[in-house]
Amino acid sequence: MEDPLLLNYPEDVRSLLETPEIEVTSDTTKYIEKALSGSEKYYSALRQVGELPELHTPQSEQESHMKNMASKTRQAMKEEEGKSALLSMVSKSVILHGNRAAYTIVDFNGQQHRSEIAMQSHGHSVTVPRMSILTPYDFDLMLRIYRAERITE
C-alpha cells in the first residue's frame, strides 16, 4: 500500500473520499477505488492476525502505572501552584458534582446574591498517525520526501 494518508488516518481519509458532495472525474474515481481497495486489503490482513496477548500489558501493571503517573502529576501540580502568578490573582474552587457552579456576588450595598452558572460540555480529539507509533523516523522521512517533491514541482 503506497498511500500514507490512508495508512495513517484510515477512518478520516475514507470518510472524506466516500463523501458524495465531492465532484471527481472518472479517472480520479478509478484511483480512489484502487486506493480504498488496497487499504481494505491491508487492514483485513492485519485483522486476520488476531489479538496477540504479548502486545498487551497486564491490567495490574496498567493500574500501577496510572496510579504512579497520577501521584507524580499531583505532586508536580502542588509544587508549581505556589509559583504561579495567575493562581495568586484568582480564587480556587472545587466542584464536587453536578453540572452547575454556584457563586456569591456582593453588590455595592454589601448584600450578597447567589447565582449559578450551567456548565457546558466540550470535547477534544487528536488523531495520531499510525506509522508514527511503529516507526516514527521512517514516517517522518516519508513526509519530508513528499514535501521536498512538492516544493521542486
* pLDDT tens readout for residues 129-138: 777 766 777 7
Look at 150 and 127; give whichever has higher pLDDT: 127
Q: How many CB atoms lie within 10 A of CB 40?
A: 14
Look at 118 and 55; give whichever has higher pLDDT: 118
Q: Is the pLDDT of residue 15 over 80?
A: yes
pLDDT in tens, 84-123: 888 778 877 777 677 888 888 888 999 999 988 888 888 9
Minimum mean pLDDT range among 13-22, 27-36, 43-52, 125-134:
125-134
**Average pLDDT of the chain, as a whole number:** 83
> What pLDDT is attached to residue 1?
43
Which of 118, 114, 139 lies closest to 7 in space, CA to CA? 139
Helix runs in the chain, H state only = 4-8, 10-17, 26-49, 59-81, 85-89, 130-134, 136-152
> What pLDDT is attached to residue 29?
83
Residues making up the chain, counted from first to last: 153
> What pLDDT is attached to residue 67?
95
Q: Is the pLDDT of residue 153 over 60?
A: no
Minimum mean pLDDT range among 31-45, 71-85, 128-142:
128-142
What is the percent of the chain where pLDDT is above 70? 94
CA distances 87 to 84, 104, 149, Å, are 5, 20, 49
Q: Is the pLDDT of residue 49 over 60?
A: yes
